[in-house]
Amino acid sequence: KAGVTQTPRYLIKTRGQQVTLSCSPISGHRSVSWYQQTPGQGLQFLFEYFSETQRNKGNFPGRFSGRQFSNSRSEMNVSTLELGDSALYLCASRIQETQYFGPGTRLLVL
């Protein structure tokens, strides 16, 4: 089976812009979670989607949003980018209790 894929892998944006990241889970996995990783805060949970419904949400401002499609692919969107949004964004798909991570999208906000 193919693993979790994320696109794009690298992205450079400027403050105030918005960005959309995409994640395709492992075939058959219906749960997709997003995490933000920064040097200062470590790995932090953003949200989880299951069957197109958001099941959990982390402690992030409303500028961070996401959605899941009927084929389980997920997108996350960050509006009005700030310098502090520069991070590695990781997507994971889950089967039972085990989560499998994609390669991540590195976002740099200038």
List of residues contacting other proteins (CB under 8 A):
31, 33, 35, 37, 42-43, 45, 48, 55-56, 58, 88, 90, 92, 97-104, 106
Please state the closest distance from residue 52 (CB atom) to other proteins, in A. Answer: 15
Q: Closest CB to other proteins among 15 and 98? A: 98
Please state the closest distance from residue 22 (CB atom) to other proteins, in A. Answer: 17
**DSSP letters for the chain:** ----EEE-SEEEE-TT--EEEEEEPPTT--EEEEEEEETTTEEEEEEEEETTEEEEE-S--TTEEEEE-TTS-EEEEE-S--GGG-EEEEEEEEETTEEEE---EEEEE-
